[in-house]
Each structure stands twice: as C-alpha cells, then as structure tokens.
Structure 1
Amino acid sequence: MTLEILTSDVLTPITHGFFTRRGGASSGVFSGLNCGIGSTDQTDIVKINRDRVADALGVEDGAMIGVRQVHSADVAIVTEVPSDRPVADAAVTNIPGLALTVLTADCQPVLFADQEAGVVGVAHAGWRGALDGILEATLNAMETLGARRSSIAAVIGPSISQRAYEVGPEFFETFLTDDPHNARFFANGQGDRLHFDLPAYGLHRLREAGVEQAEWTRHCTYSDEGRFYSYRRSTHAKEADYGRLISAIRL
C-alpha cells in the first residue's frame, strides 16, 4: 500500500509531511506505518517502515534526525548528524539534506519553516510541553539560526481533538493556575469531567508568540483508527502497546 502523507500549503515547497499509518509493514496493534523505535513492535519491521519514510523524504535513514522525547521544553539545534538522539522535544536546523522528525500518537506534531532564511524545525507538543513553552522555545532556537519570527510558518498535524480529550478537574486547575484565560480551551463533560482542546491551545500559543501563519490540519488521531495511532484509544481498548506516527520536514 502507498504511503499517505498529509502536507500543508503554507510549508510548500519545503519537503515535509505528516505520515499516517497507511502503507507500513507492521501488523497486529501496530498495523501500518509504525515508526516507534521505543515500541514493542519488531525492530526489523520498524526499520522497514522508517526506510520507507526516508525514501519518501529523499534522504538516507541516517539523515532522519529524531529526538528522545520526554515532554520537556528543550530544543536540539542540529548542525550535523548527532551520534545519538538528543534528549529534547523539538529540533531545528539550517542544514540542507537533514530531515527532522518527531513521533506522536495524540500529542501535537508541529512543523515549522522560515523559507526565506532556510531554517526548519519540528516539535512534539503534548499538553505538558505546550504548557511549559516547547513551541516558543522552538521559535527561539530557529531565530538563533537566522530565522525571523514574522516569517515563520507553523502547522500542527494530526492530534487528539477536544471531543475525545476528556480530563479531570486537577488538569483544569493546572491550566487555570498558569493563566485564568485558559478556561476558554475547556468544555464541560459528564460530572466533573471536562474536554480539553489541545490543538486550539497550541494555535493560541503560536499566535501569541508572533507566528502569523499557523494552522492545524484538523485531523483527530483518536476518532480515525484507520489512519492514525492513538495512545488514548489503545488505552481504552486495553491494548498492550500502540504505534507511533512520524512527522518530518527537511530543507
């Protein structure tokens, strides 16, 4: 099956894509294009999947630079192929031929580009990272490589939508403590449950940081099992593990 790659006009003509699970070699709960190195999927099968992604991006597998994601606000500035994955939740580069990648399964994958300056970036922005400033940190790191905030475009890829993201009162209080205006990103659910709009919060943070071209692809990972992996959906189904989607950008 052919790979399915979601792209955005605001990042074109820079090579980029939010890869769905279609077109991969994995089976079982991982069925499709599981690129999760840390998953319990067969290592050789994950390698096949990642090779397919590299081929689609026009790079060797060794030129696909990922990070060891820990829900932080840390950014790796990539000026050469690292010997190991940096511990961070975002990466930026101005080196042609290097493809920056992040893995997600409900969290926001965010691709950034300043085409004029020749600087790109990626970020893994779950609720914790977004709250702690991973998106702003990525923009700051891009500026150290010569990007201009007003010229940066940012696109949030497939993420869990508000309808599927049920949270408790403690979660709500965490966001209100940071900023009382964050109440706008929550809707009432049953009992004391609420529903959090992660992509809307991500777009808010990007726009407040000065990114004029910011959008979400409007794909919900939880509700479309045929195209996307979802940590929360797998948890609800009591599955032993889950696949990881890959998103990438390169100069």
Structure 2
Amino acid sequence: MRQRPFVLSSDPHAPFPPAASAMRDPDGLLAIGGDLSLPRLLNAYRHGIFPWFSLGQPPLWWSPDPRMVFHTDGVRLSSRFRRALRHSTWQVRTDTCFDQVITACAHAPRPGQHGTWITSGMRQAYLDLHRQGHAHSVEVFDGDALVGGIYGVAIGRMFFGESMFSSRSGGSKIALAALASRLHAWGWPLIDAQVENDHLHSLGGRLMPRAAFLEQVAELVDQPAAEDGWTERFGLLPASALSQPPVP
C-alpha cells in the first residue's frame, strides 16, 4: 500500500493509479489533486474511485477497502415502516429537480460532521454530470414538497450513490428503496454506498472486499444501459408500492 497519495497531473484524461494501491491510513486515500472535470470524474468512477474532500482542500480521491454496497434486491425497511407506507400518499420520481436534491444533501446535518463536503465546486461538477446524462436524482414528494432524495452517478449498469437527505422522517429511506427497486427491475445488481456507517447497515448495506467490488464494477460499467431518459423510464412510483418486501 502507498505511504503517500499519488499526485495527479493537470491532464483531465491522465489515468489514476490502481485502486488497490490506495493507502491503509487513512483507509482508501489514493490520489490528490487534479480537478472535477467530466472526463476525470467518469474515469474515476469507472475504476471504483470517488472524490471526497472539504472546503479549502485539494481534491482527494478514494477507494476504501472494504466497500459499502447495496444489492438492489437487498435494501431493508423495517416491518413497521413498510406498514406505514401502505397509507402513504408520497410519490417518487427522478431527474425533475436534481439541483434541489444536491443542494438539500449539501445542507443536511450529519452526526459528527461540521460543514459539508458538497462544496460549490463539487455541486457544479455534478450538475454538469447531470446535464450530460451521467448523474441522476431520485426525489420523494409529498404533494409539491420535496421531502427526501438521493443522487449519484450511473455508468453502464452500475450506480454509484453519492448522498441522500430527508426533510421529513423516512424520506431518504423511501428514495433509496425506490432506486433499488427500479434498478433491480432493470437488471442493475449493485449500488455503491462508498463508506460504511450504522445507518447504511440498518438499511441492508453490506461490506464487500475492494478486489471483489472492483471486479464487479469493471464488468458492470461496460454493460449497455437503456438509452431512454431516466424520468420517463423510472416513471411515477407511489411510495405505497414499497410497502411489500422485495421478492427473493
């Protein structure tokens, strides 16, 4: 493992070092520098690498071992929560207000975290990815009010989750479960959740060795995905439809 992170060149098309060479301490730190240009971001995700840094820092690029993931048929909602969903009038759609979702994620309070890693530069980079059809948001609405959401990057048949938020209890859970339900129906097996925490574990997140994760990513990013837009393909999903557990 590297003792120091690799310093990226200014060329946005320059390759990253192998993800397996990331540092052990801090876990997964692979490279430093570069920019958040579209080609560099897409190259990073294709190789199981993501940016994560705070305001005032240069871009930091990570590939931790192990990796937190969700299998799209394995998101877990409690029985009590599913019973409550039976009577929910909330609805889920996608890519109708990406800017609002990423802004809400940037301002969502995180335990033990001050400020946000979704800086203005990070936000602009993902808005550019969204405009080019690479980044997507799943949005939960109560009437006209946005009450939860998640956003991330899709390449091939692999979805790389970035952040989620709730402005009302359960909003992010519904967004994640809806995303997983649709992806599973489309034949997408995996959602990257990056770094483990107790909340993700409670929703069914699992740790995967980095080598196994990278192997799956390499296969999935090269698989063809449907060319139609996510808004139309995802459609309008009633939250009440998530009240039943996934079929094994």
Give the TM-score range, shorter chain.
under 0.3
When normalised by structure 2's length, the TM-score is: 0.28
